[in-house]
Amino acid sequence: MWQGIVCSLTLCLVGLAGFGLANNLAGYEGYTKYTVQHGDEEAFKYMVDLQTNDTELDFWLLTRNSSVLTVSPKRKTQFEARLSSLGVSYEMQPLMELMAALQANSSFAEDGYDEEYEECQLEECEESERPRRRTRRQARGFFSHFPRYQEVLSFMSGLAARYPQFCRYESLGRSNEGRHIAGLSISLNSRVRPRRVAYIQAATHGREWITTQTVLYLAYELLSNLRAFTRVLQDVEIFLVPLVNPDGYEYTHTTDRFWRKNRHRYAGHSCSGVDINRNFGNHWNYQGASQNLCSEVYSGTSPHSEPETSAVVRYLEFNRNRVKLSLDVHSFGKFIFYPYGYARNTVPPTVGTLRSVALRAANQIGRYRGTRYTTGTSASILYEASGSLDDFAYGNLGIPLSYTLELPGDEFHVPAYDIIHVCKETFAGFIEFIRHVSLY
C-alpha cells in the first residue's frame, strides 16, 4: 500500500531526470514541503523568525495564518517537535515527490496546445491570413513552456522587430554576471515619449518563472491587437522588464530550482546572493530583512547596492515625473499589495485610491475563471518587510499607483497547461491597472 501511494526518492529522481529537472534539483534529496496552519501570534512570530534567520528552511509563502516552506533533513525532527509544542497543524510532502508529480502533469501539455488556442487551422484560413495566423500560432506556443534567458530576449527583440513603430527594445543595464536587464517600451508612437508611463517588472526572484510569462504575454497581446487597445495606450507608454533578475532566473534552470536571490558572490564566503526585493531604499533593512549573507532575505550591503536594483532605480528616477504606475509581479499567493509593507499600521494618505484600483484589478482578473485575489498591504496580510519596490516607488519617488502582484498557484512550478490561463487572467488585471494611468 505504502509503495503504491508514495514514490520512493529513487523513483522520483529517475522521473525528474527524464523531464530534465534533475540538475536543478540536486541537493534537495530528503527535503520536505510543509503547509502549516498557525492561528495564534506566537506561532506566527516563530515563523517570521525562522524565515529571517534559519538558512535550513526556505519559505515559499508566509501569511499571518499559514505558511508553505521546505525544510532540510537535518532540521526536520527539530522543526516538527517545535510545531507540536506550539499546537499547530501541518501537512507534509516529500519535495522530490511533489516535483515529479508536477512535471508528470505538465508533460502532455504542448501536444494539443496550438489546436486549442488557435483561431483557425492553416488550411481553413484565407490565403492572406495564413502568414499572420502562423506567426500567432508560433507566438502562442511560446506560452506553453518556461523559456530560458536567451529565448526571452529573442522573443522581446522579435516583437520590437515586428512592430518597430510601436515597440522599442532596450537594456536598462547589466546584472552581476553581465546579462542584459532587458526592457520593452510599447506605445502608439515609439518615437515620441508620451506623458505617462506604466512600469511593470517581473522575476525579481529567480524561481518565480510564471511572472516573466505574464509580462511577455501582456506585450504580445497588446502588440497583436493594437486597434483593440488604442484607448488604453492613448498618451501612455508601457515599459516592461520581464527579467529583473536574469542571473537568478538562469540559475534556477541550470542549478537550483528554488533560488530566490541574485547571484552576487562575495570573496571568502560560501553563501551568495542578495534579495532584490529587500534592496530598495525605503526603510532599508528595517523589518523582514537580514544582514546574514546566507539568509534568503539578505538585504545587501546598502540600499541599491545591486546592479539589478540600481538599474531599476535609475530608470524610475530619470522618468519619475512620467511614471504613474509601478507594478512588481511575483509568485505566488493571489494577492495585490499596495504600500506600505515595512510596518503593519502605516498606510499612505491615498490608501483609498490604492485600494479601489486594486479591487478593480482583482475583479477583472476574477472574471476570466473565478480566481479571487486578496488586496491590502503586505504588512497586514503577510508580515512586515522593508526594501520592496512598491514602498520605494510610492514613498521615495511619489509614483501614485504602486503595487506588488502575487500570482496564483500552490508552488512556484505552474504546470505547462496552466501557463496560458494565468497569463490571460493576469492580462485583464494589467489592463485595468494601466487604464488608471490616464487619470494622472
Mean pLDDT of 204-228: 96
pLDDT digits (tens, 9 = 90+) for 22-80: 588 988 999 999 999 987 889 999 999 888 888 889 999 999 899 999 999 999 999 99
User: Do residues 326 and 403 touch, judged by C-beta distance below 8 A?
Assistant: yes
Residue 198 DSSP class: E
User: Do residues 427 and 221 touch, judged by C-beta distance below 8 A?
Assistant: yes
pLDDT digits (tens, 9 = 90+) for 325-360: 999 999 999 999 999 999 988 989 999 999 999 999
Determine the residue type at 101. Answer: A
What's the CA gap between 174 and 190, in Å, rounded? 23
149, β-bridge pairs: none
Superfamily name and number for 2-106: Metallocarboxypeptidase-like (3.30.70.340)
**How many Å is the Cα radius of gyration of the chain?**
22
User: Do residues 282 and 391 touch, judged by C-beta distance below 8 A?
Assistant: yes
Mean pLDDT of 391-414: 95
Task: Give the number of other CB atoms < 10 A from CB of residue 31.
Answer: 22
Q: Which sequence positions are flagged as catalytic?
A: 406
Q: Does the pLDDT value for residue 123 go beyond 90?
A: no
Lowest-confidence segment of 42-46, 84-88, 104-108, 369-373 by average pLDDT: 104-108
Give the pLDDT score at 106.
Answer: 60
Please report, to the nearest 10 degrees, the dihedral formed by the alpha carbons of residues 91, 92, 98, 101 taken in order: -60
What's the CA gap between 15 and 11, in Å, rounded? 6
Give the pLDDT score at 9.
Answer: 43
Q: Does the pLDDT value for residue 128 go beyond 70?
A: no
Lowest-confidence segment of 89-98, 101-110, 118-127, 301-310 by average pLDDT: 118-127
Whether the CA torsion 303, 305, 311, 315 is positive or negative: it is positive
Determine the residue type at 225. Answer: N
Question: In the predicted model, what is the mean pLDDT of the chain?
Answer: 87
Lowest-confidence segment of 36-50, 113-127, 211-225 by average pLDDT: 113-127
Q: Does the pLDDT value for residue 196 go beyond 80?
A: yes
334: burial class by Cβ within 10 Å (0-12, 13-18, 19+)? Answer: middle
Superfamily name and number for 145-437: Zn peptidases (3.40.630.10)
Give the pLDDT score at 133.
Answer: 53
Residue 271 DSSP class: -
What's the CA gap between 95 and 6, in Å, rounded? 12
What are the domain boundaries of the chain? 2-106, 145-437
Q: What is the 3-state secondary structure (H, E, C) of 51-85?
A: HHHCCCEEEEEECCCEEEEEECHHHHHHHHHHHHH
User: Do residues 207 and 146 touch, judged by C-beta distance below 8 A?
Assistant: no
Q: Do the domains 145-437 and 2-106 match in fold?
A: no
Q: Does the pLDDT value for residue 423 go beyond 80?
A: yes
